Structure 1
Amino acid sequence: MMEPLLVLLAGVAAGALNAIGGGGTFVALPALVAVGLPPVVANAVSRVALVPGAVASAWVYRRELAPVGTASTKALTAISVVGGAVGAGLLLVLPAASFDAAVPWLLAFATVVLAFGRHLSSALGRPVGMSARTVLIGQFFLGVYGGYFGGAVGILMLALWGIGFGLDAAAGNPMRVTQLAAMYLSATVLFLLASDALTAPLLLTAMLVGAVAGGFAGAHLARRLSARLLRGVLLTTAVTTTVLYFLRG
């Protein structure tokens, strides 16, 4: 019973992290691998298990959604769903080695942009500014990444929106959580149909229950954090996950 308990606790932590600032994958995936699941199966199980937690967080934020720049909420969500499905399809048909090698560099880039994007916008005198088409194209590629692996995709989203529109982390958090749920939801459909995610039902259930509890509680906590504190949580998560990935590599 120790293994399901470990996975349950990892699910709580992952759901809360995703609701507060992102990085839940970096708790969920190692925990599943540690109890004996192959990495690809663990990746699919973690994605399926984290969906209800992400949906619970999105429900808490449902009245606080605001468009990102000139892109409507419906358009952004639709493109996230499509991107998530494409990414999940790539995970099922392509080897993970080459993309996995790029993950630390993607995280490092996201961390730098998240840390200095607002300073760059200030230096320019205003945010860079993006058209609706540019935002949707960027969101599609983020959705592909989210469906394929998903580690720190929320950090990447806030980095993109921050440098493009000067969007504050706290103001963008409700939309980040909602888009995360959209990406994971479409990926989950494919994983349930075509992966081995259901071969570990006890572990899947334990992580799912934990993620729902963590996601619901984390969303309520995030709403009470100041913009500066939330930004600190995001940067800490970004730096930690990036360093861990480089050390792992």
Structure 2
Amino acid sequence: MPSIESAGLLLAAGLLAGVMNAVAGGGTFVALPALAFMGLPPTVANASSTVALFPGTLASAWSYRKDIRPFGPVPTASLLWCSLLGGLVGAVLLLLTPERAFSAVIPWLLLLATATLAAGPRLSGWIRTRGLHAGPRFVLAAQLVLGIYGGYFGGAVGLMMLAAWSLTSTADLRALNPIRTLMVAAANGMAVVCFVVTANVRWPETLLVMIGGIAGGYLGAQLGRRLPLVLLRGVILTIAVVTTALYFAQAYLR
């Protein structure tokens, strides 16, 4: 069992991760390092982070259930199946990845997620202003790949989905939030089932982060209404940059 000090750290990490996910995403940047700091192997820390943050994602998907609408020519059911299959494949790939190899790839995954967070919704707007378009097959293939990424790691995967969908849909980005939340929950849900069934979750640490994440999700919703979104996104991006830099330093400057 974690000590009192460690429990407090994990609760605080979960609280901050929950706030970040509720506002703009990026909770992985806090939950993963906190669990790794407790001595969990990299793949177990990543799996435990996914499980710990899943209730918040599931709650968001449930709250959006009446607002989910199909977009463009791509059926919602097809996107859902791609997300479910991708999440399962990604989780299996994570479990098959040696710890040393995953430790080497984590900084690059964090860098990709940081870049996506930095671009934010503007990435989708940039794609649209360039007049780029893609057919339904491309979007479904991209959804499968993003589902795999979501099950394997998942940082900023929701924003990546919005960018891919903007190639085939002219819907407002806010209107796409409900279906985006559902697809992220689907990919993460399959990964959670896989991680739990294969006993790759450290439950004492995971439950502490989960409790903090649930509280943080509620608090983040309140802060999102009261504080400037630019300020909140700035704080989240700063945390993402610092976390990524620390992982790169640990991997390549030892």
Is 1:92 aligned to residue 95 of structure 2?
A: yes
Pick closer, same or farther for the CA change 1:123–1:85 going to 2, 3 Å.
closer
TM-superposition CA deviations, 1:39-72 (whole Å, max 9, x none): 2221111111111111111111112212243222
**Residue of 47, 50, 55 corresponding to 2:50:** 47
Shift of 1:195: 4.0
**Residue of 121, 124, 128 corresponding to 1:121:** 128
**C-alpha separation in 2, matches of 1:162 and 1:16:** 26
| Corresponding letter in the other structure for 1:160 | A
Is 1:214 aligned to residue 220 of structure 2?
A: no
Partner of 2:166, secondary structure, is helix
**Bigger shift: 88-97 or 61-70?**
61-70
Partner of 1:69, secondary structure, is coil
**Residue of 148, 173, 179 corresponding to 2:183:** 179
Shift of 1:109: 5.5
**Bigger shift: 105-114 or 40-49?**
105-114
**Bigger shift: 207-216 or 34-43?**
207-216
| Corresponding letter in the other structure for 1:102 | W
TM-superposition CA deviations, 1:64-101 (whole Å, max 9, x none): 21224322222212211111110000000123145435
| TM-score (normalised: structure 2) | 0.80
Match of residue 136 from structure 1: 140
- Alignment RMSD: 3.0
Identical amino acids, percent of aligned pairs = 40
Match of residue 10 from structure 2: 7
| Contact 1:21-1:234 at 8 Å conserved across structures | yes
| Corresponding letter in the other structure for 1:191 | F
| Contact 1:18-1:177 at 8 Å conserved across structures | no
**Residue of 103, 121, 127 corresponding to 2:109:** 103
Partner of 2:72, secondary structure, is coil
**C-alpha separation in 1, matches of 2:238 and 2:177:** 18
Match of residue 241 from structure 1: 240
Partner of 1:188, secondary structure, is helix
Pick closer, same or farther for the CA change 1:78–1:173 going to 2, 3 Å.
same
TM-superposition CA deviations, 1:192-212 (whole Å, max 9, x none): 122431xx3322211222223
Pick closer, same or farther for the CA change 1:36–1:97 going to 2, 3 Å.
closer
| Contact 1:80-1:139 at 8 Å conserved across structures | yes
Pick closer, same or farther for the CA change 1:215–1:133 going to 2, 3 Å.
farther
Pick closer, same or farther for the CA change 1:196–1:13 going to 2, 3 Å.
same
| Contact 2:111-2:244 at 8 Å conserved across structures | no
Pick closer, same or farther for the CA change 1:101–1:212 going to 2, 3 Å.
closer
Partner of 1:41, secondary structure, is helix
| Corresponding letter in the other structure for 1:143 | G
Pick closer, same or farther for the CA change 1:140–1:220 going to 2, 3 Å.
farther
Match of residue 30 from structure 2: 27
Match of residue 147 from structure 1: 151
Partner of 1:129, secondary structure, is coil
Q: How does 1:61-72 map to 2 (within 5 A)?
A: 61-72=64-75
Partner of 2:162, secondary structure, is helix
Shift of 1:236: 6.8
Shift of 1:243: 6.3
**C-alpha separation in 2, matches of 1:238 and 1:154:** 16
